[in-house]
Amino acid sequence: MTAPVAIEVHDLVKRYGGLVAVGGVSFTVCQGEIFGLLGPNGAGKTTTLEIMEGLRRADAGRVIVQGIDVLAHPRQARALMGVQLQEAGFFERLTVAETITAFGRFHRQSVPVPQLLSRLQLEEKARTLVENLSGGQRQRLSIALALVNDPQVVFLDEPTTGLDPQARRNLWDIIRSIREEGRTVILTTHYMDEAEELCDRVAIMDHGTITAIDTPVSLIQTYAPGAKVFVAPHRQEDEEQIGQQLRSLPGVAGVESNGNGEITLLTGQLEVTVGALIELGRNGEVHYRSMRIEASNLEDVFLKLTGRRLRE
C-alpha cells in the first residue's frame, strides 16, 4: 500500500434489534484503487457501505473519507462522494438527460450532462424515458448519477447484479475507467469473478465481519493455493474406488466428489499430480473419461474461510 489513504473505517458496529448486521469492521482503502466487499446475501455489505456514505447511523465506529469524519461532518464528506444505491429509485417518466440534470441540481458543482452521457455511453438514450431502459442502461444511468458531482470517492452497490455477461464486462470497463481518472472506487459484489477481475483488493465479508483482506492473487495464494483437477470415471459406480486410488497420488491435498460425476483433486503440485494421473491412465490402472484443470479462485478462498460456498 504505497498510495495515500482515501478511506479509513474503524470498528463499525450496526445492530438491528438483536441482529448484528455489522460486527466490528475495520479497513482502509487507498486512493485510486478499486476496493471490493465480497460476500453472500445478508453479509452486511450494503449496511457497511451506507454507513460509510453517511446514509445510515452506526452504533459504534468511525469513518474518515479524504480526511473528513463522515459522522461528524456528513455534508462536507458527501460533497466528495458519489453514491450508487443497490435499489436505485428513478422517476420513470423522466428522460435520461432530465434525470441527470435533476440529480445535478442537488449538488453545488455538477458535471455537464453531455459529458456524462458520453462517458456512460448513453448519448443515444438521452431522450428515452427511464422506464424504457434495459437493465444495463439503467445501471449505467445510476453510475452516471454517482459521477454527477465529480466525486473523489465512488461507492457502487452491486453494480452488475442481474446483467448478462457482455453488459457486465462493459460495466467493468467503465468502472476501470473511473479508477484511471484517479478516483477511488469501493464496490460490493457477490460475484467472485467480478471481485477477482476488477478489484485491486478485496475484503471477504460474512455474517457482519471481514475475515480477510488482500489482493485477489494473495488471497488465493494464502488460503487456496494450487489447483483443482476434475476427473470423470468411465463408469459412475467406479467413482468411490477411483477416488481412493487418486487420494494417494503425489501432491494431492484432498479429494471430493463434485456431484456431477467428477472427482475433484485438490493439489499444491499440479504438474506432479497430473503427471502421475496420466501415468495411472496409461498403465490401465485407472480408466477415466475426461480430465480438466482449474486454478483456485476466490470461491475456494471463501469456502476455506467460512466452510460454505458464496452462492448456495
Ligand X SMILES: Nc1ncnc2c1ncn2[C@@H]1O[C@H](COP(=O)(O)OP(=O)(O)OP(=O)(O)O)[C@@H](O)[C@H]1O
Nearest approach, Cβ of residue 127 and ligand X (Å)? 33
List, in sequence order, every residue forming a beta bridge with 188; answer none if it has no partner: 37, 157
Q: With respect to ligand X, which residue has the nearer C-beta, 56 or 304?
A: 56
Strand, helix or coil for residue 256: strand
Q: With respect to Mg ion, which residue has the nearer C-beta, 269 or 306?
A: 306
Q: With respect to ligand X, which residue has the nearer C-beta, 191 or 230?
A: 191
> Footprint of Mg ion on this chain (CB under 5 A)?
45-46, 86
Q: Which does 16 bind (CB under 5 to 8 A by kind): ligand X, Mg ion, none?
A: ligand X
What grid cell was written down for 34?
478499486
Q: Which does 44 bind (CB under 5 to 8 A by kind): ligand X, Mg ion, none?
A: ligand X
Q: With respect to Mg ion, which residue has the nearer C-beta, 101 or 161?
A: 161
* Alpha-carbon dihedral 207, 209, 215, 217, rounded to 10 degrees: -40
Nearest approach, Cβ of residue 271 and Mg ion (Å)? 41
From 227, 233, 239, select the one nearest 291 (Cα to Cα): 233
Q: With respect to ligand X, which residue has the nearer C-beta, 120 or 301?
A: 301
Q: Which does 216 bind (CB under 5 to 8 A by kind): Mg ion, ligand X, none?
A: none
Nearest approach, Cβ of residue 43 and ligand X (Å)? 4
Angstrom distance (rounded) from CA 147 to CA 81: 9
Please state the φ and ψ torsions of residue 23, each to the nearest 5 degrees: -115, 60
Angstrom distance (rounded) from CA 305 to CA 312: 15
Nearest approach, Cβ of residue 10 and ligand X (Å)? 18
Q: What DSSP string runs through 105-173?
A: TTSSS---HHHHHHHTT-GGGTTSBGGG--HHHHHHHHHHHHTTT--SEEEEESTTTT--HHHHHHHHH
Angstrom distance (rounded) from CA 148 to CA 120: 11
Q: With respect to ligand X, which residue has the nearer C-beta, 190 or 228?
A: 190
Q: With respect to ligand X, which residue has the nearer C-beta, 136 or 208?
A: 208
From 39, 84, 111, select the one nearest 302 (Cα to Cα): 39
Q: Which does 268 bind (CB under 5 to 8 A by kind): Mg ion, ligand X, none?
A: none
Nearest approach, Cβ of residue 217 and ligand X (Å)? 24
Q: Which does 21 bind (CB under 5 to 8 A by kind): ligand X, Mg ion, none?
A: ligand X
Q: Which does 106 bind (CB under 5 to 8 A by kind): ligand X, Mg ion, none?
A: none
Nearest approach, Cβ of residue 14 and ligand X (Å)? 8
> Footprint of ligand X on this chain (CB under 6 A)?
16, 19, 21, 39, 41-47, 86, 190
- Please compute, for residue 122, the number of CA atoms within 13 A of its CA located in the half-sphere on the CB side: 34
Classify the C-alpha dihedral 210-216-217-220 as positive or negative: positive
Q: Which does 286 bind (CB under 5 to 8 A by kind): ligand X, Mg ion, none?
A: none
Q: How far is CA 291 from CA 72, 231, 306, in A?
A: 58, 5, 28
Nearest approach, Cβ of residue 276 and ligand X (Å)? 42
